[in-house]
Structure 1
Amino acid sequence: MPEITRIRPPEDADERGTFTGLLDFLRATVELKLTGLTEQQAFARPVEPSALTPAGIVKHLTAVERFWFAIDFAGLDLEWPWTEDDPHGGFPITPDDTVDSILTAYRAECARAREIVAAASLDDRARSPEGLNFTLRYAIAHIIEETARHLGHLDLLRESTDGEVGE
């Protein structure tokens, strides 16, 4: 497993540098929250009656990155991240999932999103076949919000699982 490096986002950057720096910091924090858990811990539901698991949250964030950046913004013809039974992007886990496979998929989707973001202007509009009209600026801000919200969940689940706290 690769070493996870978190770099504090710049405090005096332009708009793009601020957005991408903050998002990359949050993405690295997501990885840290799953790293170090056993398979059993990562897939456990430590806060009953919630069905949330640490691994499920990271798998969901992988789908969110794909949906917003690759499918909706860039208009790429990729496999839809959710099923017809779960069209709003729940937190499904399959028997083949492992911590390593989930983190590998998350890293790959984040890398694809970074490439898409780097190649576009913040004012560029979504190219989804559905005719969505949001800008890249909005997509980045939304993913910052989504990632930060789910990191709050990961904080609680991680502390409930093994007592680990902190960023």
Structure 2
Amino acid sequence: MSEIARTRPPEDADERSTFTGLLDFLRSTVELKLTGLTEEQAFARPVDPSALTPAGVVKHLTAVERFWFAIDFAGLDVEWPWTEDDPHGAFPVLPDETVDGILTAYRTECARSREIIAAAGLDDVARSEGMTFNLRYAVAHLIEETARHLGHLDILRESTDGEVGE
């Protein structure tokens, strides 16, 4: 697996560069939290009684990227990220999934999100039917969502193998 590069976001940039820089920094940190864990560690539930697993959190963030950027904002015809049994995007991991597969899916979805963001203005309104939010809101929301779940990953990772830090 290649080394994960993290770049601190600019502190004196325009709005777009600030937002996308923050989001990319958080995305890289998400990858770091899963990288280095064994399959067993990544799929374990280290914080009892929580059902959260490190891999499940990253899988959820993949679905959130797809939902907000590809589906709701860009209006792309892509696979819905959640099942009818799990309509709110809990954090289930299937028996045949691997850490590498989950990280690859996350990276792929983040790359698609970056392309969508780069091709639109922050004031552009979502294209999916019934959506009224603009790109600025979607990027800000993903910063919040990714940061919140990164907190979960911090706790899960420390409880799993003692690894702490960014």
TM bracket (short chain):
over 0.9
Count of residues in correspondence between the two structures: 166
What's the counterpart of residue 62 of structure 2?
Answer: 62
Structure 1 runs, 4 residues or longer, greater than 4 Å off: none
Give the TM-score normalised by the residue count of structure 2: 0.99
For residue 2 of structure 1, report the CA deviation from its aligned partner: 2.5
Q: Return the letter of the residue paired with 2:20.
A: T
Output the CA distance in 1 between the equivalents of 2:88 and 2:127: 20
Give the alignment's Cα RMSD to 1 decimal.
0.5
Output the CA distance in 2 between the equivalents of 1:64 and 1:2: 24
Q: Which runs of 5+ in 2 are unaligned?
A: none
Aligned pairs for 1:17-96 within 5 A = 17-96=17-96
Q: Which runs of 5+ in 1 are unaligned?
A: none
- The alignment-based identity, stated in percent, is 84
Are 2:148 and 1:163 equivalent residues in the alignment? no
Listed one character per residue, the Cα deviations across residues 138-157 of structure 1 (whole Å, up to 9, x for unaligned) are: 00000000000000000000
Listed one character per residue, the Cα deviations across residues 5-60 of structure 1 (whole Å, up to 9, x for unaligned) are: 00000000000000000000000000000000000000000001100000000000
What's the counterpart of residue 120 of structure 1?
Answer: 120
Output the CA distance in 2 between the equivalents of 1:93 and 1:161: 17
Output the CA distance in 2 between the equivalents of 1:87 and 1:76: 19
What's the counterpart of residue 133 of structure 1?
Answer: 132
Give the TM-score normalised by the residue count of structure 1: 0.98
